[in-house]
Amino acid sequence: MKPRKESHNLTGEYDEHDVYDMPGNPGWEAITTVPCPVDGCTQTVVWWEAGYVPGYRVCMSPNGPNDHGAYDTSSIRHHFLGDPSGPTLILEERGE
């Protein structure tokens, strides 16, 4: 998916970030448990708000076929701030 660039203050100063316009109707389901929109990434964007801000998401790989919704936290690759009204995902650069 091709992102667009926007200036957002995610880390205390305004920087350009990739913004992904997600398919589907506005709502949390459009930005949660969906394929990661970053080109070449095959992981799943999942809810990751604990200790962060509402809308925080990361992409991870499932633990395995028998783990029923469990994800491998060591596989976190991309960090996002999600906006369900868009629905959009804003990529937070972390030196991946």
Q: 19 is in which domain, residue-wise?
A: 4-92
What pLDDT does residue 52 have? Answer: 63
What pLDDT does residue 40 have? Answer: 95
| pLDDT, tens digit (0-9, with 9 covering 90-100), for 5-22 | 999 887 788 889 999 999
CA distance linking residue 83 with residue 50, whole number of Å: 17
Q: Mean pLDDT in the chain?
A: 88
For the residues 72-80, what does the mean pLDDT come to?
A: 92
Question: Which residues, at least 6 apart from 6, have a Cβ–Cβ distance to it below 8 Å?
Answer: 16, 17, 19, 90
Looking at the structure of the chain, the number of domains it has is: 1
What pLDDT does residue 96 have? Answer: 47
What pLDDT does residue 27 have? Answer: 92
**Whole-prediction pTM:** 0.86
For residue 4, pLDDT beyond 70: yes
What pLDDT does residue 64 have? Answer: 74
Note the helical H segments in the chain. none
